[in-house]
Amino acid sequence: MGKKKKVILPPELPPDIADEEIEVSDEDFDFVKENKKFAGFLSKIDTKSIDKHVNRVADHKEDELEALYEKRNRKAALKKPKEDDSLQVDRVDVLPIKTLDGKLQYRTARKSSSIEMPNKDAASEVKDNDEDKSLVRLTKPERRLQLKKSRKEAKKQAKEEVKEDTAEGSLHSEVLAKVEEDLSAELFARKKIRLAGIGMALIENPESSIKSLKELLQICYDEDHNIVKLGLMSLLAVFKDIIPGYRIRLPTEKELEMTVSKAVGQTRFYESTLLHSYKDYLLRLMALEKQPLYHRVAVRCLCNLLDAVPHFNFRPSLLAGVVKNISSSDDIVRKLCCEAIKSLFANEGKHGGEATLEAVRLIADQVKYHDCQLHPDSLNVFLSLTFDEDLGKSEPKEIEKDRFKKKRNWKKHEESNQLKGSDAKKSRQELLAKTREEVSADFKAVSFAPDTSERRRMQSDTLSAVFETYFRILKRSMDLSVSRLKPTSLPLSGGFGTHPLLAPCLNGLGKFSHLIDLDFMGDLMMCLKRLAGYSENDDGPLQNCLSVSERFQCCIVAFRVMRNNLDALNVDLQEFFVQLYNLMLEYRPGRDHGDVLAEALKTMLWEGKQHDMQRAAAFIKRLATFALSFGSTEAIAALVTLKHLLQKNSKCRCLLENDAGGGSLSGLVVNYQPDASDPNLSGALASVLWELNLLSRHYNPTISSMASSISSMATMNPSQNQSHLSTTSPVQAFRDLSIEQELSMPISKPSSTQNRKRKGEKPVDVASRPERIWETGCKVHEDEVKNKLENHFKVLRDIEENERLRAELNRTLKSISIYEEYKQKKKLKKGSSVGKESKSRENFVMTVC
């Protein structure tokens, strides 16, 4: 027995209401008039189909209506398609349609479309196949095809649903991100406005708004790092404006117990709040300075505070934070710290010199802690220190006399008191002395005038700390065990060699050499000799450990120390002349510094007094060889020094003569030995300055003109040479030519084709290809230099060829013009001869007639 099908009946229609009973009010008419757009569907109603089913038909009586409806039903039955080609759909699957006359109609489907069911879910129809017995049964192959199609459609639907879900998720995430950005931007703007408002209120009236400092400090703990940076900078501006020009001393417990006025209470509250907030701000800066995200901002705030308020409380903490970063690997941080320390040294009026002494001691501790392995900029700050000129000398006699008088009066006073022997008077005098001391101390604390003795004491302590640092660096540089280490094995060398602080140390010794105690001069000169390369001990020189520039600087410092203490020292500087004579051959433009060489030539030769003739001739010959071997900037410095030596030593002009076998003194001296290490034993007077002839043809016009002027000195008088001494020093000439070369150097843009690899080109091993270091300091490959030289000489050959062709063209044009003139003259001669013949014929005819 099959299951009985459930028949779902349509819902009953509402009861009919007669038209007469329907009442339309005025409100309904007004509503329809105001909302005509809601009744627009009435224009689309099919009135013809409605007229067919109305109860009353025009021109017919009510008795004839039944016959009329029967005729209409017959016509409709004839027009219906045959039932053989269609099948009725199950009433369970599809809802019926109710016509206007009240009948229910069910949809039908063709037999050919029975495979493609109206429902998309074919698998459910296969399962319910037993229930749909009224439809045509499918065969097994058709069922398999239908199952495959249904599975494919199900997979497609699943993929589309996943895509829709992902699209919806991405859209949702994008919307959330935009909303978060908008909210964060709005919140950031609000916080910025709040920061600006609090800062302006504090600057306008700090006494009444001092409590807002805590709110500003709280903003510095925000999660947004931009807000934290803005908060730190805002607090910096506020503290720089409201910090007073004196140190704040908090009241003691006894002072707090005392009853004070309202104004004093407000001042105490203001100062205590300011001091506590400033302390919290410094602690926050110290904490953020360790984080890479806030490192630069925190260091900038510390440096600005040290520069603006070095007199205020917690100065040791500020100095410690700045000096700790004075040798930072970050160039910006290091520059900020060095500039802050230099400003502190220059503006001693803000702190009275106490901060200078503290900073110098902290830097000395840093040098000691890091074993002299710091950046050179950390020691170059000492060059901005200023000391009194009479600091190295003994105290003036007047001060000593005053002290002696005070001691003598005090002794007399004590003796008189002892003679009197009364206890009351003693106690009275002791009380007076104590009160005088207290009054003088208070006067010193209140007065703005600096105490000369206190200033002298602080400067002497500062100078002793500076020289202690310099001597520590010199001692470490002389240590052979450290000097033999490679630069890479040291942690903080930073690419400045094994002795990164030696160059600034020597510069500082040269600047403050007049303040060195005479007891240390001998040891200092011996140390400089050994560092320069000369040693009488068994340890040997340190020339393999130091660079050529550093050894030049040792010679420069030795000469400066000697000149500043000329009256007290009796030191032979022959060893330093020997080192300069030999170091000139070891100089390399790309490796060593040309300005240091020019400074050495200026200090040792150009500024020196009258030299020995043998030594002067040796240096003149060595300078000419040096100028011929190196670049333009080094050559001009050497030629300026050479010209100055020839002007000061007129007897050395024999080197400008071109006699056979040497100069005019060639027979009186030994032969020239260019390999001699001692300038006095080189025999340079037997040589000739043939290098000037080549230098006069130098490509640089400055070098060629200088060489030509030196060569012409042989024809001048000695008095004329001495009266026209050159005022341009080697250092100035070196700098001027360097600037001129930099200005005339073309700006070359890197071509895009250099990075492209050519097809068929073999890879070149860069490590195996030879390189040269030129005077510009950069590495240039030999292949590139060859190509540049080839192109250069090609251009020169083209120029010469163009000049030759142009000369030939000019000669040809000239010959053509001459030939044209000759032709014109010939024509003129022929014309004149023809005219003469015609005139003679006319005369003959006239005579005949």
Q: What percent of the chain has pLDDT over 70?
A: 64
Q: Which amino acid is at 818?
A: I
Label residue 679 by pLDDT band (50, 70, 90).
confident
- 669 has pLDDT over 80: no
pLDDT for the residue numbered 847: 46
Whole-number Å distance between alpha carbons of 513 and 521: 9
- 194 has pLDDT over 60: yes
- List helix spans (H) across 205-261: 212-219, 225-242, 253-257
| Closest to 545 (Cα-Cα) out of 500, 499, 582, 505 | 499
- Whether residue 580 contacts residue 543, with contact meaning beta carbons closer than 8 Å, is answered with no
Q: What is the Cβ-side half-sphere exposure of residue 634, based on CA atoms within 13 angstroms?
A: 23
CA dihedral 48, 54, 58, 59 (to 10 degrees): 130
Q: CB count, 10 Å around CB of 601?
A: 30
Mean pLDDT, rounded, for 78-98: 59
Whole-number Å distance between alpha carbons of 222 and 217: 10
Tell me which of 83-87, 112-116, 343-347, 472-476 is least confident.
Answer: 112-116
User: From residue 675, how far is each of 601, 618, 688, 771, 838 by CA, in Å?
Assistant: 21, 11, 16, 28, 95
- 797 has pLDDT over 90: no
pLDDT for the residue numbered 512: 87
271 exposure class (CB count in 10 Å sphere: 0-12, 13-18, 19+): middle
Alpha carbon 203 to chain centroid distance?
A: 33
SS (H, E, C) 789-817: HHHHHHHHHHHHHHHHHHHHHHHHHHHHH
Label residue 62 by pLDDT band (50, 70, 90).
low
pLDDT for the residue numbered 538: 44
- 704 has pLDDT over 70: yes
Q: CB count, 10 Å around CB of 231?
A: 25
pLDDT for the residue numbered 712: 86
- 845 has pLDDT over 60: no
Higher per-residue pLDDT: 554 or 78: 554
- 359 has pLDDT over 90: yes
For 409-434, the pLDDT digits (tens) are 555 555 555 555 555 566 777 777 77
Mean pLDDT, rounded, for 329-352: 90
For 453-502, the pLDDT digits (tens) are 788 888 889 999 999 999 999 888 887 655 544 443 334 434 566 788 88
- Whether residue 770 contacts residue 782, with contact meaning beta carbons closer than 8 Å, is answered with yes
pLDDT for the residue numbered 419: 53
pLDDT for the residue numbered 273: 92
**Quick one: DSSP state of residue 5?**
P
pLDDT for the residue numbered 418: 58
- 363 has pLDDT over 90: yes
- Whether residue 573 contacts residue 611, with contact meaning beta carbons closer than 8 Å, is answered with no
Highest mean pLDDT among 215-224, 435-444, 648-657, 734-743: 215-224
Tell me which of 53-57, 504-508, 774-778 is least confident.
Answer: 774-778
| Closest to 574 (Cα-Cα) out of 657, 678, 454 | 678
Tell me which of 145-154, 187-196, 741-750 is least confident.
Answer: 741-750
pLDDT for the residue numbered 849: 44
pLDDT for the residue numbered 753: 41
For 722-741, the pLDDT digits (tens) are 444 567 888 888 888 888 77
pLDDT for the residue numbered 757: 41
State the average pLDDT for the chain.
75
pLDDT for the residue numbered 146: 78
Domain boundaries along the sequence of the chain? 492-742, 805-849
Whole-number Å distance between alpha carbons of 274 and 211: 9
Q: What percent of the chain has pLDDT over 90?
A: 18
Mean pLDDT, rounded, for 210-234: 89
SS (H, E, C) 63-93: CCHHHHHHHHHHHHHHHCCCHHHEEECCCCC
For 371-414, the pLDDT digits (tens) are 888 999 999 999 998 888 766 554 444 454 455 555 555 555 55
Label residue 342 by pLDDT band (50, 70, 90).
very high
